[in-house]
Amino acid sequence: MHTDVQIAPECPHKGCGQVFNDTNFRLAVYLNGVFFLVKSDKGIIGFTCPKCQKTITNSASYNDVLKIKNWLSNTFVDIVSCTENEKGEVILNPKSSFEPTLNYLSPFMLKDEIVDELSIDYFGSTHMDDVSIADEILNHINQTKPELKDWYCSFVGDSNKPICKFRTVYWFDEKKISACLQYENDHGIRIFPRYHYHTGLMESVNSLLEFNYFMGKTFDQAKADHEKDNAKALDVINACAEKTNQNYKNLVKESEVNNTAFLTKIIKQNQERIANDPVIPAKFLKVLTSAPAPLGNLLTDGVCDYLWSEPRPFEDKDFPESFVDEIDDTVLRLRTHEKFNKHVKMAKRVHENQNKQYVQNFLRGKLVKFLEGYENLMQSNRFSYADVWQLKENCLIDLYEAVNRGLRDDMPYAMHREGEGWRIVFNGKPFSGLRGKGFYWIYYIISAPGKKVYYRDLHAQFGDKEQTEKVIAIEEKDVKGFLIGEQLSLSDDAVYSNRNKEELEKRQSYENIYKKLSFEKAEAISKGDTTKVDRKIHEINKVLKHLDGENLKYKLKDHKLIFESKDTTDTKDTTDTKEATGTKYKIINDKIKKNYRDAMGKIKSIREAKDLYTHFSDHIKSEGGAFIYTPHEDIIWHLD
């Protein structure tokens, strides 16, 4: 430990046995936060064990609590984040939004019944520039309950500003501490407010809270509680009136108890704001499309840069003793790359359409639900930064889908799946219920204008399963399918079915990560950094082992990982002669062409689709074992 204070060298929970030191303790704080409870001479430090997910506490002197808090908060960590753009180039961001600054995060109130059951005292503070939170705390103790001096307080006085406008400070009776801990573990509810490392994402979500919360409660809850308090007050007044023989109505009037008008007004104003204020959807959109802030630093060489995407990455696993090598999980990194690529793609499309009415409606309609989701997370015992990311990313997925639906309806030229069949919009005219394999071919053909779309590739990717056994191998140089290199990117928007889309995306991220690791290895070799070379080899082997586990076949060439078509590999050993190959090609070609003709026949049979039929007939040509689509007109298809 950098301090002379020892924190839980080992997790005390049954069957866990996780060991902690100063580096992995800091990482645990990054993941789930830390709480400090203090009274005049004593303190308690608590954090979540990343392995067993239970709360660990340690007693310390007040000064030791301060020391540890300062050490966690002020020790300089050179944070560099590393992301990859669409072309697979690695971009180094000089600083991520993780700052080594601990912030008190307690924007919501615990429910009344919890506060009562555990005898918790509290006050809610709204940020005011002229009164410091330390002064507010002193005022609360002096004015309401002097005995709180002997209770544990959840806020440790310091200069770091709590990151949320509203914050609740709690006091706990020493006798109730273990009951509170038990409550956390039993109910999964966070009783002790945590300090978290500062992140841009959480700060921006917190800045949205004012649109649904009043003093740490939802507007509706605040109103309901207020009415409940009023009822109680009226009872008291009534009793008083009877006892002193005064006029009840006059007393009520004097006390101004019955007044919820101000809350009703706030709620109404707020609903109007959400419906009309252009700032709100803009702020919300910024949150949803914000990029991840990977955690890593120069010492760790980006090792931890997946922590933004995986809640509880160490659950039931041994949490590493040191930060550097052991938590390196290549498969986890792979998944993270997939998530990142997906995020970039969604954010881009949503941004391009941000002024559309349906985007604005979505944002206004979803805001309250999103904030309530955030509240649930934050009040949960297992809350972590990655959970917030996941919450907002799920919301982005919904928005992305809404955009795609909106685009589809706006576009004069569109083609997409509809139930078992397809729907084509041509020149604003929709045609539904188009069934048959040939429509898959048409979809792929029009998604790659000007490019040759080989019959055999269509077959390899989408042909019938039972047919594949008969297919004869194609030599590697002949495979120009969309599983390779540039062709993959041009079919980026082409979706044949969700399964195929996911499969393609997954393969692309495997290719990207392999390329990245391979370049890193080459760089390490050129610098003569043998430790790093070993590590990169180790990582590459992990990726390859993972691919073997998934039963994916590939070739390695230069710095590239190239996937083989499934048909190619399935039948590799059973093929021989050129004649057989020729025959096989002919069968495939005939089949693909027949599917295509059938689809065109269907279009032809629809009287209103004459223009569509003419367009395809004129502009889809068949040559050299491939289709090629060359539209003269300025037609842009919307395909997804």
* Cα–Cα dist 375/145, whole Å: 29
Non-local CB neighbours of 398 within 8 Å, separated by 6+ positions: 362, 366
- Report in angstroms how near the CB of residue 311 gets to Zn ion at its nearest: 17
**Per-position x/- string for 91-110, each x denoting binding to Zn ion as judged by CB under 5 A, each - no binding:** --------------------
Q: Of 314 and 596, which CB lies nearer to Zn ion in the complex structure?
A: 314
Shortest Cβ 10–Zn ion spacing (Å): 9
Q: Which is nearer to Zn ion, 188 or 412 (CB)?
A: 188
Query: Nearer to Zn ion by C-beta: 16 or 324?
Result: 16
Interaction of residue 52 with Zn ion, rule CB under 5 A: yes
DSSP label at 175?
A: G
| Alpha carbons 389 and 200: distance in angstroms, whole number | 11
Residue 477 CA, chain-centre distance (Å), reads 40
The smaller minimum CB distance to Zn ion, of residues 95 and 317, is found at 317
CA distances from 622 to 219, 485, 589, 591, 626 (A): 64, 24, 11, 14, 6
> Residue 319 CB, nearest distance to Zn ion (Å)?
8
From the CB of 187, what's the least distance to Zn ion, in Å? 19
Residues 6+ positions from 629 with CB-CB distance below 8 Å: 445, 446, 448, 449, 450, 453, 619, 620, 621
Minimum Å gap between C-beta 49 and Zn ion is 3
Q: Which residues make beta-bridge pairs with 196?
A: 103
Contact at 8 Å (CB) between 431 and 611? no
Strand partners, 214: 217
- Which tokens is 52 given? 């067993």
Give the residue with the Cβ less far from Zn ion, 20 or 155. 20
Q: Which residue has the tokens 């109103």?
A: 223
Nearer Cβ to Zn ion (54/335): 54
Residue 13 or 42 with smaller CB distance to Zn ion: 13
Contact predicate 349/399, CB 8 Å: no
Q: Which is nearer to Zn ion, 47 or 426 (CB)?
A: 47
Query: In this chain, which stretch among 48-56, 167-175, 302-310, 619-627 interacts with Zn ion, using CB under 5 A?
Result: 48-56
Task: Give 49 or 346: the residue with its C-beta nearer to Zn ion.
Answer: 49
Distance of closest approach, residue 389 Cβ to Zn ion, in angstroms: 24
Task: Give least dist CB 28 to Zn ion, A.
Answer: 10
350-367 burial: b if 16+ Cβ within 10 Å, else e: beebeebebbbebbbebb
First CA to last CA across the chain, in angstroms? Answer: 54
Residues 221-250 interacting with Zn ion (rule: CB under 5 A): none
From the centroid of its chain, how far is CA 398?
12
Question: Which SS3 state, helix, strand or coil, does residue 320 take?
Answer: coil
Across the strands, what pairs with 43?
38, 60
User: Taking the CB of residue 612, how many other CB atoms lie within 10 A of it?
Assistant: 20
Q: How far apart are CA 174 and CA 193, in angstroms?
A: 16
CB of residue 433 vs Zn ion: minimum separation in angstroms? 57
The per-residue DSSP string of 86-123 comes to: TTS-EEEES--S-EEEEEEE--SPPPHHHHHHTT-EEE
Residue closer to Zn ion (CB basis): 316 or 486: 316
Q: Cα separation of 378 and 384, whole Å?
A: 8
- Give 162 or 320: the residue with its C-beta nearer to Zn ion: 320
Phi, psi of 369 (to 5 degrees): -60, -40
* Stretch of 4-12, 157-165, 546-554, 593-601 lying at the interface with Zn ion (CB under 5 A): 4-12
Residue 65 C-beta: closest distance to Zn ion, Å: 21
What's the min distance (Å) between Cβ of 356 and Zn ion?
49
Closest to Zn ion by CB, 17 vs 601, is 17
Please, what is the minimum distance in Å from the beta carbon of residue 54 to Zn ion?
6
251 in contact with Zn ion (CB under 5 A): no
- Report 7-46 residues binding Zn ion (CB under 5 A): 11, 13, 16, 18
Q: How far is the CB of 476 from Zn ion (least distance, A)?
A: 51
Q: Does 346 bind Zn ion (CB under 5 A)?
A: no
Quick one: which of 31, 37, 49, 600 contacts Zn ion (CB under 5 A)? 49
Beta-carbon contacts of 333 under 8 Å, excluding residues fewer than 6 positions away, are: 305, 306, 513
Contact present, 459 and 627 (Cβ < 8 Å):
no
Alpha-carbon span 470 to 309, nearest angstrom: 43
Q: Residue 11 CB, nearest distance to Zn ion (Å)?
A: 3
Q: How many chain residues touch Zn ion (CB under 5 A)?
A: 7
Q: Which is nearer to Zn ion, 15 or 146 (CB)?
A: 15
Task: Report whether 258 contacts 252 (CB < 8 A).
Answer: yes
Residues near Zn ion, by CB under 5 A: 11, 13, 16, 18, 49, 51-52
